[in-house]
Each structure stands twice: as structure tokens, then as C-alpha cells.
Structure 1
């Protein structure tokens, strides 16, 4: 590992980071209720999908209204976390959204335009309460056709608009209700309860301990936290659970187990209905896979011959998949050769086998490994824009599905994947357990690894070279110096923000192309946050000035600019601007042409020479420059460093301004815990696997 002499950093914000009945179940009231819950969750999903309507510029606003509009925009675009109420550095909300189709499209998938009359009525109420009128379109979508009357009757419903905080909703309520309002208003307590649970979901929790929720309500000035939660429960907005307390890290069993079991201590959890139903549906779907007998699609001798001809742990993976409906596979980049070998063997046996990745970049990389295999993105697979399509029953037309980048699955995406598989199909979840978890709620892959309900195959194929050695050490909490004779790893110490920006631009534009042979367009910068003196915005401005200067006539963009396009909050597609015209901004992202309408450019497109680690998950580049500014210490953790450093294929430069905070983060700062219910939900349905 070599070190360049200086030629940290200030001001970077931390990175924001349908249930089916089980196989063989009898028709019952419980099954009917599940079907009703599934229909309700589909309704909720439709409402959520409608939240993408752009809002007007609001350029003439000032004061509180301007601040509110700016906050809403920052959250929607992923520039800021919604609120650090439950500490987790992750970007804004996330859930799978349809991939762009393979032809230019002027309308983003899922776009819903509210009725003009509803928007105008909502705009009038917002103006009356001193809120930005530019929020009218989004509020009309979120609140429905009668949104104006909803706000008049309960002004705190404004909290349902992403980015609005309780103090801002309080001001809106005072303007509308005057002296008729106060902190003890039941409407306020119920709305703040839902808002807090949404913030918890943004931090990765699928539910909250009742005591933690009560404490958070107290901090928000709700005098009767228990009453607020009860009101939310009675309105059907949230669900409450009593889960057995785990012993020695293993969830306690549930069900009819006599008087002794009835006296087991429990913890009381509260969660939003949508995530509770998704997690329950996921548990049911996983149990169906684990407990089912895979489709007989080849003699055991044929599977064994395929396993024997594969190398090392690839053979173990093939054997495990031969006899099980659900298998977990762990490993780094080099281990992707093993799922590729599995797909090759499965196709040779006549199986309809597909793979799904987190990003289009990952899709193209894996398709090159698994020649001839069908590869889609998870979002494209679920939306139907990619993949094998669905059969007459609505299930995916597959016998085997391998989901790569499995740590990126949140509970909703994972539930949809499991529900979409036909009876007798096999599912392999594969990924690197060291990377950052999903940006949506849950820790599906980590929970499954911990509960050991199915076979787990750990790859013995290490990532090669100095970069592989460095990243492997980080994975076990050690930041080792590695020999890098070919300058595979270079440390660039810096003293302040200005020097960090200067050295980053120098590395991308000059040093890496000259010394390593990787051109600037194949070098990616990764930094912990969007804001501040060395965040993505500052670095992208400096890199654009050096690499592609131009007037930025179309919303600050010019042809040739590298961009990060977010078709939905939390999803990032790296790409490049090809042109701009009356239709909008034309992008090339992952081999697809996308047209972003002019009114959505500000909301969904940013420059992409520099990304955060969450945005970079699922992608790799020949060269990566990781920037660690001096004030980024609080954002650093072992998963963050592991993710950022492991994005590089050939070369890694580290612009280093955090001194001893880096090795300390690697050795001491693990992933922040998330409250989830998946292990408890699986325990009574699936026995733990041996080994």
C-alpha cells in the first residue's frame, strides 16, 4: 500500500443512508384474512407509487414556506435523510420501482397525475396555512381527491408528505386552527406516531419497541404517548405485536406450548401496517420454499455429475440447490463465478433458470460471467419490464431464481420475490454479507444467515490481489497494510477540505489515467455524504469544471456529463447525458436510453462523478477514489468502508483526512442494529437447519 505526499476535510453531511397461504393450508378464516390483508397492501402500494409527482419550483417563496419546500425536495431527491430520529446513515425511502423500459420513455413508471381540481383545492388550503403552494400536487396524491378537506380537518396530515417535520406541521396547524390546537391534540399525537414509525423505517427498522417509540414521542412534545399509540392502533394505521424474547440469540418458539410457554417474557413492538404485512408475507413465502420439495427436474445422478464437474464450493452450491428450495450463498466478487456455474448446470438440466441483480451495472457484469443465462434487475423482474415473464397463475416463469446482491433486499422487495415464485421452484439468495444493508426497512439476508433455516454455502474463492487482501481484512475488522507493487492501493493524506477536493480532481483527471491506465470516465469517486465542502455536490462541481465544462443550459447539465439518475427514492442508476431537447434530458444508463422530462430533472438527476457508498452498492469500476473528509468520522463504519473500498476492480486511491478514525471505524464500528421480526416469524414455521 503506497502513500502519496499531500499535494481532511470539512462540512460533509453523513450519508443518508401480499401474503399467500402456505403450501397445503386449508381454506380458513385466517386465509381469508390474509387475502384481505394482501388486497389492502396492494392498495397501500398504489398510494405509495403515486407519490412521485413533481412539485413546482417555488422560486418566489421565502421564510418558513421556502424552508419547508427545500426540506421536502432534499428528502425526495435523496440529498438529505428525512430525519435522524432513529440513527442510521441511509438515504431516503426505498422500495422497488419499475425499471425503465428498453425504449425511451418520457413518463417515469408509476407516475400518477392528480386531478387538477384536487390540486387547486389543496393549494388553497396550503396557502391559507402558510405552507408552500408548490406542495399541492404531492399532497393531493398522498391524501387523495379530498385532500383539501382532510387537511382542514386534520392539518397534521401534512406530515404524510415526505420531508415535512412535526414543527413545520405544527406551524401549519396553528395557522389553520388558531387557539383550537395544542400539543395534546389527539390528531397531532396520532400523526406524529405515524411519522416516527416512518422515520424508523428509513433507518431500517420494520417495527419499534414500544418503549423506544414512547421516548421518541416524548421528545416530540406528545404528552400522552400511550394514548397517541392507542389512537393510531384504533384507526388501523399501526399494528402491535407481542414477540417472545430471544434467548442466547435464538428467537423463542411460539405457538401452543403449554403454561410454561405462556409465561415467557415478551417484548411489545409497534409497526406500520405495510411493513408488518410485508414481513409476515415474507416469512410465509420463505417457509413455503424451505418446507417444499423442489420440482423433480433431473435425476440425482445428473445433479451430482454437475456438482462433481464444478470447482470447489461451486460444487457444494449445486448439491445444496439440488435438494432444497432455499439456499444462501456468501462471498465477494470472485465468488460470483459459483452462481454462474450453478446457472450453467441448471440450464443443462433443462431448468428455466434466471438471475437478478441490484443494478443494471451489476446485471451487465454478471451476464458476462454467466454466458447465455437470463439476467435481470430485481426491480425489472418484479415489474415485468425484464425477465422471463409470468405464467397463467401470475408466478414468475422460472424453476430456479438466483438473486445476487441479496443484502440489498428490503422486506417489501423480498416478499414480492418469494410470493412470485411458483410451487416447486428454487431460490438462491447470494451476496456479500460485509456490505451495507438495504436502504429500505429490514435486514433480510442477515436475518436468514443468523436463523440458519436453510443450507448456507460460503465461497472459498477469495478476491485476488492486494485489493482482495485489503477488503478481506476489513471484513473481519482489520485494516491491514498490503503490498501493492503495481500501485493497486494508494493513500493520499490531506489536511483540509480544499486540499481534499484538489487532490481528488487531480487523481481522477491526471494521476490515475497516467499511472494506472484507467481513464477518467472509468474512475468513480465515493464520499460519505452529499453536502459540505467535500460532499458529492462540491466534488461533482469541481470534477465537471475539469472534465466536462459547459454552460449547463438544461438544468445544470450538458451532453457528456456523468449523472446519477434516481427513478425512485433510494434507487440510483449511474449514466451519462447524451443530449437535451424538448422531450427532456436524454440519458444512457446501463445500456438503456432514458428520457427525463424537464420538470423532473431537478428532482431525480444529479451529477455522478462522485457518489455515496449507498448509491454505489451493486456497481464496480476499474478505479475508485474514496474520499474521507475530516468531519466524516461519525458516518464511518466497517460496512461503509468495506462497501466503498470493495467497489474497485484494479485500483483504489484513498484521499485520507480522518487519521486514526479509519482503523477505529473498521475495528470497532459495526452495522447499526435494526429491529426486525423475521427471525421470530420464521421460528414456528421452519426448524433450524443443521450446521
Structure 2
């Protein structure tokens, strides 16, 4: 087996998850490096950096792209001995804060003693011009961290754990990492962001831990419950379903899970509710297939159908979901029954209110809009729902004017920064995200506003409420003063929340909360083909594909998915900007039902990036991601430390190779927010020239381009199509197959979610609403 010695010249490619690396390698002959052609080495080469000396052993092979290359079977790392190698090594990104200029200055000053100085006497670095005491501390810390991470990775490498995972573990536990991994790797799944049960389980298996150990079984059961929440929005699973899923994932007999179930129950990690005979409370029984939408990929995954069962089954809740459902019911009861802080209004006073709105504000409300204002004011908790163009914003503005004249302290909020910004624009009143309203504290993962420290407001209005899951709803209710009012505004026909629960629909279905549904389409809204089309779709009517020259909605037929892709690209890059003066990056949003396929999010993003933001800009490759300055990107998970959340869209403003950072600007309700990402955090970002319809919830775009083809038929549902079209503010074009459009309109099947909120609210009884009109 050939054995080579030399220096790493540069890294051509590295997969940060598995550390598969392609590197250029300069051969060493008796201590002298060759200056001619470089050799390519490939293989699993974790932690290697430009400038390092390597001894590699492997087999020669031919590659169509790189030519003759050595596939490395084993290697030994050594620190660089030459000053040239030291400069490359220090500026490779190994140490945050040292780029090529600082690296050259340090090596010029200390020569061949550079690495020894950094390791043994780092305080001497201040002798170098441009290196401050603060720089010195940062370099020393980064060097020690790298040494610790290398030690951790050497420990994990034998268990085939990537450098990226090792870095995440070290960031959480520091020098305790090896001990914690060795004693209980399942702890990682619950405490280290980005490490799930499967990764922790892989580590445990490779460490030789028993497959039927209680820690593994207990963590596996919790994993099944949280995955059911993340993928399908379930708050609980029926007992047989939970046991079956866990047995399949853990590859253990069903009977071995009982001990872990009892342990979780005794520690109140799970809650078991007795079997019920209510027909509508067992949505997964009866041999029905439940359709699952994977949050991260948008892929369709039909869950296994349950066997029809005549015996009612117990519900198994993961602890946080049980507390959220039962707690929300308790708090709604308290809030609804507590006295109001608002002065009462007689029928005569209401006449005066509406007459003044008409005379002074030119707001002549319909009977239903008047009812919406009255119910919102008179009821402690109420709901305002309706489709686009039905007057929800007008009703809100009228209510806010009334509250302002009576000097009522009002707070407006929405689930996302984009939705909060839209609410501010629609009402003229500053709105916040719910997380900001509730004063989320990332350091201890809690909300500062709660039952002990309630909000100071008398009236709280939450828009885009269909996006709110049961956990966030519970935190909101905990923060409300008992005498305050809560108005929930949303479109119940849109997609439900990404997180667990189906709160808006459950509240409406229970009929325990007073609700006003606006249905009349106003004359101005009737002039918008987008609005008219959305209502047609919601009624099961297939919109006409006929193109009108003055229309704001078009259907462009293309049967072939790859030609449809080309048409989408042409519309975004050339046609729409030329005719309507849209900015192709900031104004136009491509929405797709799924992640995969010719017109899926992945391929469309690659093509759109190449066309709209080509390689002239500074860029960084991280794993399978290629990101450039100017790219539109989306946050893919909640990061409470940074204050950015799943679905937030921003633009890359700077790539800082010296400090290993990418700076992204997000549009928040209070103005632009610049967030710094370390390179190892870039797996939280994806390109967002195209996004799934699910990720677009709560957003509004000047122009929407929506490809529809039959290869996405598993996700082509009426509420998905309705949600996509209602994201468009000024222009919407559907590209694809008429059969796919027709299929989506007629498919009004709703993915069922296991929730108990509506049933719990039945005990509150039906809401009694009385208005003077």
C-alpha cells in the first residue's frame, strides 16, 4: 500500500457531516517539498488543515474530475515545520480571529517558534503589531479549544462520529464532553442542539451500550413522541401506535418497552390519559392513513395505517404537550370567567361608536364587521376569522380606534417577524413577535412574562393565529392578566401550525370561544383575481386557466417538469422584472409543494442562485451548502440564543473568513437585525429563493411563482394551494399541469392531528354571544 509524506496545500471539498475530504497534497522528499504538480488525496480526513504535515497511506485510483488520486486508508497529522506551512495552517480557519494578514505578521515575528509560542507562552503574541491583549486571549482560547476538540474527536473517531458533531458536543459540555458521552450518550439528544436521538443512538451502539438498556428505551419513546409532533403535529399518540413505532425504530420486542414506559410515567416525562369512547377523539384508528409532512424536507411520508380497533386506547402525551393542552384549558376557563377591565358599552353607545367611525374615519362597517368589533370588545376571549378581502383588517382598525379613544393599553403580536411587520402596516400600530412580547430569555430557555410576571396590557391581539402551536399558545395564556382581553385573528382554512396541535381549528370546533367568521368579499377585493381565485379554490372551484392582460393571476401550462423548471427560472429572472419591475430576489418568491423533484425547492434554489447571484460574490462552502454574499436564506430551526426562528428569511451581508462568521440581515418588526453565524452553525441556513409552501406561512410577497406538477401529488391539497396563493400581494402565477391544479383543488382531505384541546374545551360549554345588532 503506497505511503506518502507531505503538506496539505488546500482543501478542495469537505463534507462537514462525515468529514469526507478532497485535498491537494504537496509531496515531501527528504524534508523538501516538491514545487511542481500537486497530488490529490481523498477519504475521511477529519480535522486536517492547510499547512499541516501528513503521512498518508492508501491506494491509487483514477477520477474523471481530479485525475490520479490517492484514496487514504490511514493518516498521521503533524504540525507544520516550515514558516510557509505555519502561515497557511494558522490562516486556514483553525483559529477564529486569525486571517492571512495576522498569520503572516505572527510568523514573521516568531519564525519557526510560532506554534510553540502560541501553545506555551501565548501572552507574547502582544509583541506583534496589530495583536491586542484581547486578540491574544481569543487566540489562546481558540487554540485550547481546538486541542480539546481534537482529543474529543480522536475519542469519537473510532465510533465514526463526525468532526461537526464533536464540535457541537464540545460547545455544550467543554472538557466534560468525553465523560458525558461515555456515561450517557442519550443525554446529547436532549441537550445538544442539532443532535437527535438517532445520532446519540449511533454513538451508544458504537460504545457497546446494551440495546435494551432503560436509558435507550426511554429516550427512544420520547423521540417517537416528539417526532410525531414535529412531523405530523400530534400532541399524543395512541398507546398501541406509540409502542409499535418505538419497537420498529429501536428494533426491540414490544414487551421490553413496558419498563421504560413505567419509568417515564413515574418521572412525569409522559402522561397517560385513560381510554375514551368518543368517536372523534381517535383519529388514527379505523385503518385510515395519516399523511405526514416532514418539516425539514417537505417530503411526503404516509404513516403506517393503524389496524381497525374496537377497543378504545389510552393516549400517551409527551410531558410538555400534556401540560400545554391541559394548562391552556384551565387558563381559558379562568380568563373567560374573570371580570373585564374594560368599561361596558350600551346599545346606544355602540350606535354612536359606529356612526363616528363612519363620519370621522369613513369606515362604514357591515353587520358582520360590527359584530366582530363588538364581540372583540365585549368577550374576554374571542376569534375573528375569514379569508382574504373579507374585511378582517378593517374590523381590526375599527376596534383599535375604539380602544384608543378609551385609552385602553393594547398589544399587537404575530408568530413571526414578517407577520408582525405586516400587522403593523395593516393597522398603523406597532406589532411585535410573540417571542418578543413574552420576553423570551434564551439563556434559560424561558419566557420572562408568565403567571408570576404577567403582561402590562389590557387587550392583546394576535394575528396569523393559525401558525400558533399549542406550546406557544400556553405560554401566551400564562402571561395574560386575568382581567385582560384576548382576540385571536386568523384564517382557519390555511395550513395548520408547523408545531404540535391545531389550535385555531380546535378552538373553533369546540364552540367554547366566541367567534365571528367574515365571508363577504368586498368590491375592491373582487377586482383582484388573486383574491377571487383563492375563494374559488377554497370553495372547490377550479380557476379558469384563461389569461387576461390586466389580471394579477395567471396559469401558464407546461406538462414537462423540467421545461416547467426553465419557465419558472425565466419568469423570475427576466419576464416579471421586465414587465412589472419586480426585484427578482427581494420581490419574487418561488413556492413549491415539495423539496425534491425538477420543480422542488432544492433544484430550484441551485438554479436560481446560479442565475441571480453568480460566483462573483464572496462565498463559503459548508457541507452540501454553497452560500454567497447577497443570497436570500432561511433559518431552518428555532435559535433562541440568536433570536431567529424557523422560517425567518434574511440576506447574507458579509462572509468573514478571518473570524469564521457569516452575517445575515433579517427584517424584524423593529427594523433590520444583523445576526452572526459561526461557520459550524451554517447548517441552520438554507437558500430561500424557493421555499416550501409550509415555510411561507405568515409571509406575504409582492409576487409569487408556484410550480404545480403531478409528481408532487402527495402534497397537493386544497389548503396548501389556498395558502400558497394567499401569500401573493400583487401578482401570482402558477406554472405546470392543469391536471395537478385540478387535483389540488378537489383534494380537500385534511391531515388529521391527534389533539385533545377541542374535547377538553367542551366542558366550558358553548359560548353565548349577544350583540345589540
TM tier, smaller:
0.7 to 0.9
**What does residue 269 of structure 2 align with?**
237
**What does residue 93 of structure 1 align with?**
none
2:572 equivalent to 1:508: yes
2:273 equivalent to 1:210: no
Q: Offset of 1:320 from its aligned partner?
A: 0.7
Judge conservation of contact 1:560–1:576 (CA < 8 Å) in 2: yes
Instruction: Decide which moves more: 326-335 or 138-147.
Output: 138-147
**What does residue 741 of structure 2 align with?**
662
Give secondary structure in 2 for the equivalent of 1:530.
coil
2:647 equivalent to 1:592: no
Give secondary structure in 1 for the equivalent of 2:408.
coil
Judge conservation of contact 1:470–1:482 (CA < 8 Å) in 2: no
- Within the candidate set 381, 388, 410, 2:437 is matched to 381
**What does residue 335 of structure 2 align with?**
289
Tell me the TM-score normalised to structure 1 length. 0.74
**What does residue 109 of structure 1 align with?**
none
- Within the candidate set 648, 653, 662, 1:573 is matched to 648
Judge conservation of contact 2:324–2:474 (CA < 8 Å) in 1: yes
Distance 1:433 1:501 in 2: 32
- Within the candidate set 196, 200, 205, 1:174 is matched to 205
Give secondary structure in 2 for the equivalent of 1:415.
helix
Q: Offset of 1:347 from its aligned partner?
A: 1.2
**What does residue 537 of structure 2 align with?**
474
Distance 2:266 2:280 in 1: 35
Give secondary structure in 1 for the equivalent of 2:674.
strand
**What does residue 634 of structure 2 align with?**
564
1:166–1:411: structure 2 CA closer, same or farther, 3 Å change rule? closer
**What does residue 625 of structure 1 align with?**
705
Q: Give the 5 Å matches for 1:45-194.
A: 57=16, 60-61=19-20, 123=153, 126-139=156-169, 148-157=178-187, 159-160=189-190, 171-177=202-208, 181-182=210-211, 184-194=212-222
Give secondary structure in 2 for the equivalent of 1:537.
helix
- Within the candidate set 557, 563, 585, 1:499 is matched to 563
1:397–1:194: structure 2 CA closer, same or farther, 3 Å change rule? same
Give secondary structure in 1 for the equivalent of 2:207.
helix
- Within the candidate set 403, 413, 420, 1:356 is matched to 413
Give secondary structure in 1 for the equivalent of 2:329.
helix
Q: Offset of 1:481 from its aligned partner?
A: 2.0
1:432–1:392: structure 2 CA closer, same or farther, 3 Å change rule? closer
**What does residue 612 of structure 1 align with?**
692
Give secondary structure in 2 for the equivalent of 1:560.
coil
2:726 equivalent to 1:646: yes
Q: Give the 5 Å matches for 1:421-570.
A: 421-462=480-521, 463-464=525-526, 465-481=528-544, 485=548, 486-520=550-584, 521-555=586-620, 556-566=626-636, 568=638
Judge conservation of contact 1:367–1:374 (CA < 8 Å) in 2: yes
Distance 2:694 2:609 in 1: 22
2:380 equivalent to 1:325: yes
Mind listing any 5+ residue stretches in structure 2 that lack a counterpart? 1-14, 22-42, 47-141, 284-310, 358-363, 442-447, 621-625, 640-644
Give secondary structure in 1 for the equivalent of 2:457.
coil
RMSD after superposition: 3.7
Distance 1:130 1:508 in 2: 43
2:735 equivalent to 1:688: no
Q: Offset of 1:159 from its aligned partner?
A: 4.7
Judge conservation of contact 1:298–1:349 (CA < 8 Å) in 2: no
**What does residue 44 of structure 1 align with?**
none
2:319 equivalent to 1:273: yes
Partner deviation per Cα, 1:335-391 (whole Å, 9 max, x = no partner): 2222222112211111111211233333232222212x2311222212269xxx979
Judge conservation of contact 2:281–2:756 (CA < 8 Å) in 1: no
Judge conservation of contact 1:326–1:455 (CA < 8 Å) in 2: yes
**What does residue 401 of structure 1 align with?**
460
Q: Offset of 1:149 from its aligned partner?
A: 4.3
Q: Offset of 1:452 from its aligned partner?
A: 0.7
Distance 1:391 1:298 in 2: 28
Q: Offset of 1:151 from its aligned partner?
A: 3.9
Partner deviation per Cα, 1:585-640 (whole Å, 9 max, x = no partner): 24252431313234256223332221111221111112110022442111222221
Distance 2:200 2:762 in 1: 41
Q: Offset of 1:60 from its aligned partner?
A: 2.8
Instruction: Decide which moves more: 509-518 or 647-656.
Output: 509-518
Judge conservation of contact 1:122–1:147 (CA < 8 Å) in 2: yes
1:545–1:689: structure 2 CA closer, same or farther, 3 Å change rule? same
Q: Offset of 1:268 from its aligned partner?
A: 0.8
Distance 1:681 1:518 in 2: 48
1:638–1:376: structure 2 CA closer, same or farther, 3 Å change rule? same
**What does residue 199 of structure 1 align with?**
227
Distance 2:630 2:163 in 1: 35
Could you say which structure has the greater relative contact order, defined with CA pairs below 8 angstroms and 6 or more residues apart?
1
Q: Offset of 1:140 from its aligned partner?
A: 5.9
Judge conservation of contact 1:303–1:322 (CA < 8 Å) in 2: no
Q: Offset of 1:402 from its aligned partner?
A: 0.8
Instruction: Decide which moves more: 505-514 or 235-244.
Output: 235-244
Partner deviation per Cα, 1:234-273 (whole Å, 9 max, x = no partner): 344222112643357899xxxxxxxxxxxxx964111111
**What does residue 36 of structure 1 align with?**
none
1:169–1:688: structure 2 CA closer, same or farther, 3 Å change rule? same
Judge conservation of contact 1:307–1:319 (CA < 8 Å) in 2: no
Judge conservation of contact 1:302–1:349 (CA < 8 Å) in 2: no
Tell me the TM-score normalised to structure 2 length. 0.67
Partner deviation per Cα, 1:379-428 (whole Å, 9 max, x = no partner): 2212269xxx9799621121111100001111111111111111211001
Q: Offset of 1:488 from its aligned partner?
A: 2.2
Distance 1:326 1:243 in 2: 31
Distance 1:132 1:168 in 2: 10
Give the strand-richer structure, 1 or 2.
Answer: 2
Judge conservation of contact 1:339–1:402 (CA < 8 Å) in 2: no
Distance 1:688 1:144 in 2: 55
Mind listing any 5+ residue stretches in structure 1 that lack a counterpart? 1-55, 69-112, 252-264
Judge conservation of contact 1:620–1:648 (CA < 8 Å) in 2: yes
Distance 2:345 2:766 in 1: 27
Judge conservation of contact 1:131–1:172 (CA < 8 Å) in 2: yes
1:147–1:545: structure 2 CA closer, same or farther, 3 Å change rule? closer
Judge conservation of contact 2:236–2:318 (CA < 8 Å) in 1: yes
